[in-house]
Amino acid sequence: MNFELMASMMSADYANLGQEVRDLDEAGIDSFHIDIMDGRYVPNYAMSLNDLKCIRTLTDKPLEVHLMIEHPSKTIGLFTSSLNPGDTIYIHPEAEYHPSTTLQKIINAGLVPGIAINPGTSVEAIQMMLHIVKKVLVMNVNPGNAGQMFLPYLRSKFEKLLNLKYGMEFDIYWDGACSGDKITEYAPLGVKGFVVGTTLLFGKSSSYAETIASIRRMEF
């Protein structure tokens, strides 16, 4: 079973960010997940545009930029101009008056359009946008902080999205409280990728190469 692993860079060691990126790259991470928060859409500040630009210079792997900011349409050009073709930008539809317009700007810039949906956002609320996005990032915790517990009632959301997926052209990704048992349960169902942070990847005694290899060896 093939699945993608995205490193949640808000959990990285910022005193050694360059080495962190190089080590993760060499260890076989598939992409780098960058959470940008404005302190308004979510009650926290996380990574910045400068962090994004720095990581972009350190790796050729794809970047996934998760914008947890109000009205991303106002500043989307700052992010699209800092990325390479094929990188991804996720927006939260609740943060925008007309999210489809912002998604079109992402598409026009040659990037991959994605939406992130909060635990309290229904599939029905975003169903029309599924026709234009390529990725759906399902938040299994409330956005804003790392290290939260998984909300078990979200399984029905994955089931609905997986049923819709076969009639459209989007892939489903997991973000938040990603443990090994969640990968072994949801990857075979069709979830394509998992954002890994403090639960599985960062702060462990083993190297990134050893940790990533052990995740990929999980049996299904």
For 173-185, the pLDDT digits (tens) are 999 878 898 999 9
Q: What pLDDT does 142 receive?
A: 73
Amino acid of residue 175 = D
The yes or no reply on domain 4-216 and CATH 3.90.1150.10 is no
How far CA 6 is from CA of 78, 84, 176, in Å, comes to 23, 17, 12
Amino acid of residue 43 = P
| Contact (CB, 8 A) for 101 and 120 | no
pTM: 0.94
Residues of the chain with confidence (pLDDT) below 50: none
Active site residue 175: yes
Phi, psi of 202 (to 5 degrees): -90, 150
Residue tagged active-site, from 35, 51, 87, 171: 35
| Contact (CB, 8 A) for 11 and 193 | no
- What sign has the CA pseudo-torsion 170, 186, 59, 14? positive
Q: Is 11 helix (H, G, I), strand (E, B) or coil?
A: helix
Q: What pLDDT does 117 receive?
A: 94
Crossing angle for the helix pair 49-58 and 17-27, nearest 10 degrees?
50
Q: What pLDDT does 1 receive?
A: 65
**Domain ranges within the chain, ordered by starting residue:** 4-216
Q: What pLDDT does 177 receive?
A: 79
Q: What pLDDT does 153 receive?
A: 74
Q: What pLDDT does 28 receive?
A: 96
How long a stretch of residues is the chain? 220
Residue tagged active-site, from 51, 87, 171, 175: 175
Active site residue 30: no
Q: What pLDDT does 2 receive?
A: 84
Q: What pLDDT does 46 receive?
A: 86
